[in-house]
Amino acid sequence: MTSEDNQEHYLVSRMPFQQAGAAEVLRAAQKDKGFLDHLKSCLSEIVQRSAGTKVWLDIHKHAEILCEFIYYCLTTLCLHQTLGEEYTGVLQVDHSKRKLPHTFKRVTMVILQCFGPEVIRRLLSKLEDSTRSGKLSGYLRPDLKNIILHQMPTLKYSLTLLHRIHLASFYFTGAFYHISKRITGIKYVLVREWFGDTSASKSFQILGLVLLTHILLTTVYTAYSHFFIKSSSESTQSSTKCFVESKKQCPLCLDERKHSSVTPCGHLFCWQCIQECLQTCQQCPLCRHSALPSQVVPLLNYD
């Protein structure tokens, strides 16, 4: 009998298991992130000492993604708990909560979790660059090209908004902390029921309500700024202001940078744009390098 058969027999014989709550799932994810950050830090030190800082800056995005992929290959894909899952006593199961996730689901989940954000970022960047450079001129009408460029910030914000709504849903239900697990239907159950913290569910539901309120207010303010404040300001500007040099452009809002600020990895953004972005995901939007809001440095008198 294989290891997978043994674990599935154990699941069936012990069912029903209690579904893991938001506290256990979140703690497991935090533990895994902390361990991955340590692995990435060790890899960074090894590469920089052996090949130099320049080489690491050139490959660090790919190296960090590869490091994360190897970690989940050695754990999830091999039917082992990750260190975070083992620490909190949770186990991945399929939607029935009676069997381990099928191999195809586990592979899909790992690929989406490791490569999904980078693939989406590259596709959006490729679409924007191709539209701006005129490579799609033979396929797009000029008015459609302008619409795509004009709506690109809205599309990027929509992805951020989708992630926040997903996070609020997790706070309410305690399931699917990662979007990759929501897509594949992989849930968590408690292996040690006495280890669960049922008292924390109300607190997380309140947190989810606060997050939904913040999403609503932010969306209303963004829509108001886009349709009223921005349109009125654009009508007073001359047509020569429509073009923004790439070196002065914020990668998030695509307008001229306001209050230029730099992340630890050296990328420049508007102060407000990068602060709002890091509230959702504490990584640089361009290279996925770890970045905290407190690590962003505002630049004075920077052109």
- State how far the Cα of 22 lies from the Cα of 205, in Å rounded to an integer: 9
Angle between helices 142-173 and 271-280 (to 10 degrees): 40
- Quick check: 187 and 97 in contact, CB under 8 A? yes
- Collapsed DSSP state (helix, strand, coil) of residue 290: strand
> Which residue ranges form the domains of the chain, and what is each CATH number?
3-193+201-233 (no CATH), 249-303 (3.30.40.10)
Closest CA to 152 of 123, 176, 179, 181: 123
| C-alpha 105, offset from chain centre | 20
pTM above 0.85, yes or no: no
* CA-closest candidate to residue 204, choices 177, 232, 174: 174
CA dihedral 48, 49, 52, 56 (to 10 degrees): -20
What is the Rg, in whole angstroms, of the alpha carbon atoms belonging to the chain?
22
Query: How many Å apart are CA 201 and CA 26, to the nearest integer?
Result: 12
Of 18, 115, 108, which Cα lies nearest the Cα of 64? Answer: 115
- Residue 247 Cα to chain centre, angstroms: 26
CA–CA distance, 207 with 64 (Å, rounded to integer): 31
As a three-state string, the secondary structure of 40-77 is HHHHHHHHHHHHCHHHHHHHHHHHHHHHHHHHHHHCCC
pLDDT in tens, the chain (303 residues): 455 555 554 554 455 678 888 889 999 999 999 999 999 889 989 988 998 888 888 888 888 899 999 999 999 999 899 999 999 889 999 888 778 899 999 999 999 999 998 898 888 888 888 877 766 666 667 777 777 777 777 788 888 889 889 999 999 888 899 999 999 999 998 887 666 566 778 888 899 999 999 889 888 887 777 677 655 555 544 444 445 566 778 888 878 888 889 888 888 888 888 888 887 778 888 877 888 888 888 887 776
CA dihedral angle for residue 84, residue 90, residue 94, residue 95, rounded to 10 degrees: -120
- Token look-up 């997050």 returns 211
Cβ proximity of 254 and 152 under 8 Å:
yes
pLDDT digits (tens, 9 = 90+) for 116-156: 988 988 888 888 888 777 666 666 677 777 777 777 777 88
Helix (H) or strand (E) holding 261: strand 260-262
**Which tokens belong to 229?**
């404040």
Tell me, what amino acid is at 170?
F
